[in-house]
Amino acid sequence: MRHTLAGVIGAALIILAGGCSSKKAATTGDAAGAGYGSGKGSGSGVDVENLDQWGGRGTVIGDVFFDFDSSALSSEAQEQLKQNASWMQKNTRSSVTIEGHCDERGTDEYNIALGERRAEAAQNYLVTLGVSGNRLSVVSFGEEKPFDHGNNEEAWAKNRRAHFVTK
C-alpha cells in the first residue's frame, strides 16, 4: 500500500511540475508569443474540458498570452477564451479574477496599465461569449508576478499573459 500511495503522489507531482513548465493551453513556443495562451491546453497544465474534477474554488483555467507591447487577442487567445467561457457556463457558481501580467520591460506604471488592458481585453471577450460580467473581475500585476524569471524572449513571452483564477 505504501508503494502505491507513493507512486500516486509521485505521479501527481510529475503532472503538476510538467504542467507548470509546459503551459499547454496557452502556448509560447515561438518568439512572437503565439505559443502560450494559444488554446491548445491550459496555462496551468490542467485539461480545461475536464476541469470539474479539480473543483471550483481556486481552480486555474487556461491563460492567454500576448505579443510584446500589445493587449490585442490573437486567434489562439480567442480559442482559449472560448474554452474558458465554456467552462464558466458549465460552472455557474464560480466567478473569475483575470490577472493582467507583463514582462519586465517598460516602466512600472506602463506595465500596470498594460496588464490592466490585457485583463480587460480578456474580460470583454468573455462577456461577448455570454459570460456574465458580474462574475468577472480584473486586476493588474504588471511585471510584479512573473511566471518565468528568465531574462530572454522565451521567458518574457510566458509573462505577457492574462491569468485566470476561479473563486
Domain boundaries, given as residue ranges, for the chain: 2-166
Contact of 5 with 17, CB cutoff 8 Å: no
- pLDDT, tens digit, 9 for 90 and up, residues 89-147: 999 999 999 999 999 999 999 999 999 999 999 999 999 999 999 999 999 999 999 99
Beta bridge partner(s), residue 142: 101
Mean per-residue pLDDT for 59-74? 92
Report the alpha-carbon distance of residue 118 to residue 166 in Å, rounded: 18
Contact of 142 with 44, CB cutoff 8 Å: no
Contact of 132 with 91, CB cutoff 8 Å: no
For 126, the grid coordinates are 468573455
**pLDDT-derived band at 72, boundaries 50, 70, 90:** very high
- pLDDT, tens digit, 9 for 90 and up, residues 18-29: 333 323 233 233
Counting residues of the chain whose pLDDT is more than 90, the rounded percentage is 63
Q: For 84-111, b where at least 16 C-beta lie within 10 A, e where not — what string?
A: bbbbbeebeebbbebbbbbbeebeeeeb
For 10, the grid coordinates are 509521485
**pLDDT-derived band at 42, boundaries 50, 70, 90:** very low
Q: Look at strands 96-101 and 60-65 and give their pairing.
A: unpaired
By three-state DSSP, how is residue 46 classified?
coil
pTM above 0.85, yes or no: no
One of 3.30.1330.60, 1.10.3720.10, 3.10.450.40, 1.10.10.60 is the CATH number of 2-166, namely 3.30.1330.60
